[in-house]
Structure 1
Amino acid sequence: MIKDRKEAAEKLAPMLDRFKPLEPIVLGIPRGGTEVAYLVSKHLGAPMYLAITKRLSLKGKKESTIGALAEDDSLVLTDVAKTTIPKPEINRYIAEAKKEIRKRISLYRKDEELPSLKNRTVIIVDDGVATGNTVMATIELCRNRDAGKIILATPIAGESLCKRLKKKVDEIVVLKTPFFFRSIEQAYKDFEPLNDADVLKIINQYQEEKEGESPSE
C-alpha cells in the first residue's frame, strides 16, 4: 500500500523526468489530485493548473457515477446512463454540474481561464483512477484544446481501466495496476478526503513558491 498522497507523488514524479525537456504543463484534478499534482509539478519545475471536472452521480447515490463533465463542457457518460436514463434527467445533472464547476473555477482559479494547451505536452495528474470518468472528461478537454501530447500520471488505476485509457492518451504512467480495484482508498494507508480549504492551502503554497522563484526587479 501507498502511505499517503505525498509518498505517491514522490514515487510517481521521478517516472516523469523524461518529459522535462518537453516543458510540460501539469493539470491536476481536484480535489484529491491537487496534492499529487502540486508535488509532481514542483519536482518537474512545471507550471500547475487545476482542471475542473465534476462527476455526475445519481441523486442520493454518490457512488452511482453515470459520467463526468469538464469545464469546457466535454461530457463523458457511461453506457448505462446512455441507455437507461432519460435525456431530460441527464440534462438536469449536467446543469447542476455546470453550477458546481463555475463555483470551483471561481474559488480555485479566481475565474481565470486555463492557459493555452495548443501543441503543449500536458500531464494529467490524479491521486487514483477508479471509474475513469473525470479523467476521460479531462482528456477530452485537452483534445479539444489541441494539446500536442497527453500523458496520464496516477499512483493507481485498475488493470482493465488502464487498457482502455491507453487508447485515449499518448502514455500512462502509473505505480500500481491491481486486477481487483474498486476504490482509490484501498491503495492508501492514509486517505483523508480533501476539502476546499485543503485545496486552497495547496494552491496558495504553490503561488508563494512560484513568486519566490521570480527574479526580483
Structure 2
Amino acid sequence: MTTIYRDRADAGAALAERLTALMGQSDVIVLGLVRGGVEVAAVVADRLRVPLDILVVRKLGVPWAPEVAFGAIGPGGVQVLTDGPAGQLDPDQVAEVVRRETAELQRRERLYRADRPPLDLNGRTAVIVDDGLATGATARAAVAVARHMGAKRVVVTVPVGSIDAYEALAAAADEVICLQKPPDFAAVGAYYEDFHEVSDEEVGAMLTAKA
C-alpha cells in the first residue's frame, strides 16, 4: 500500500527509522539536495545526531519541456547526461541550458554557504537526501560530486522514487534506500499532502538552526 506523507518532515522521520545504524557515527554527514531535500535531511540529521549540510545540484531540463530532465550539474564542473532526452538536443541547446543552470548553481552556493566553511567530504560517509526520485539525474549528479570531493562511501536516501530511477542510481551509489517504489509512479509531489516549493529563506533557516 502506498504511503502519502504529510510533508517533508514526516518523510524525513520515516527515513531516519531506516538509518539508525548510522546514528552518532563520527564520519557521517547528511547532505540535503537543495531545495526540497533539505527539509527531509534536517529531520534525518537531527534524529541521527550527525551534521547537516547541503549539496547544490541543478537539473538540466529540455528547453520545450523543462520538467523533463536530460541531466544535471553540480559544483566542480560535474555533469551527468541521461541517454534518452540528451540525444534529442543539439550541442548549442545543451550549452545554453548548462550555462543558465550553472549561473543559478553558483548563485545558490553563494547564498546558502554564506559564512559556512567549504563542504569537506574527504574520508566521510555522505548520506545524500532528497524528497523523491523522478528521473534520478539530480541524485546521480550528487553522487558524482560527493565522490569527486573525496567521500569514502555514498548513500542515497529518499522517501519515494520510480523503479527506473532507483535502479540507475543503485549502479552509481554504494547504497540506495528508497522507502517506496510504486510501479505506477507519478510525480514526486503526488506522494505528499504538503509539497510546497521550499524557499531560499526556509533553507537558510534550517541550516542556521542546525549550525
* Structure 2 equivalent of residue 9 of structure 1: 12
Residue 96 of structure 1 aligns to a residue whose secondary structure is: helix
Q: Does 1:97 align with 2:104?
A: no
**CA spacing shift, 1:168–1:22, aligned 2, 3 Å:** farther
Query: Who is 1:38 aligned against?
Result: 42
Runs of 4+ aligned residues of structure 1 deviating over 4 Å after TM superposition are: none
Aligned-partner SS, 2:77: coil
CA RMSD of aligned residues (A): 1.7
Report the equivalent of 1:173.
177
Q: What is the SS of the residue equivalent to 1:72?
A: helix
Cα displacement (A) at 1:61: 2.8
Match of 1:137 in 2: 141
Change (3 A) 1:197 1:115: closer
Which whole-Å deviations, capped at 9, do the CAs of 1:143-202 have from their partners, x for residues lacking one? Answer: 112211110111111123212211111111221111121311111122111121221222
Cα deviations by residue, 1:105-156 (Å, 9 ceiling, x for unpaired):
1111117564321221110000111111110100000111221111011111
Tell me what 1:210 maps to.
none
Code of the aligned partner of 2:15:
L
Displacement after TM superposition at 1:38 (Å)? 0.8
Equivalent residues of 2:26, 2:50 under 8 A apart? no
SS at match of 1:131: coil
Task: Give the Cα–Cα distance (whole angstroms) in 2 for the partners of residues 193 and 90 of structure 1.
Answer: 26
> Residue 35 of structure 1: CA displacement?
0.4
After superposition, the Cα gap between the structure-2 partners of 1:110 and 1:60, relative to the gap in structure 1 and judged at 3 Å, is: farther
Quick check: 2:69–2:85 contact (8 Å CA) kept in 1?
no
Unaligned runs of 5+ in 1: 208-217
Note if contact 1:105-1:111 (Cα within 8 Å) is conserved in structure 2: no
Give % identity. Answer: 29
1:193 to 179, 182, 197: 197
Report what 2:57 is aligned to: 53
CA distance in 2 between partners of 1:202 and 1:72 (Å): 25
Q: Which of structures 1 and 2 has the bigger CA Rg?
A: 1
Distance apart, 1:75 and its partner CA? 0.6
Measured after TM superposition, the shift of residue 52 of structure 1 is 0.6
Task: State how many pairs are aligned.
Answer: 207
Post-superposition Cα deviations, 1:48-98, rounded to whole Å, max 9, x if no partner, equal 111111111133532122211011211111223442211122112111111
**TM-score after normalising by structure 1:** 0.89
Report the more deviating stretch, 33-42 or 171-180: 171-180
Aligned residue type for 1:68: A
Could you say which residue in structure 2 is the equivalent of 1:183?
187
Question: What TM-score does the superposition give when structure 2 sets the normalisation length?
Answer: 0.91
User: Partners in 2 of 1:97 and 1:111 — Cα distance?
Assistant: 23
> Take 1:94 and 1:112, find their aligned partners in 2: how far apart are those partners?
26
**Which of 190, 193, 206 matches 1:202?**
206
CA–CA distance in structure 2, aligned partners of residues 127 and 40 of structure 1: 12
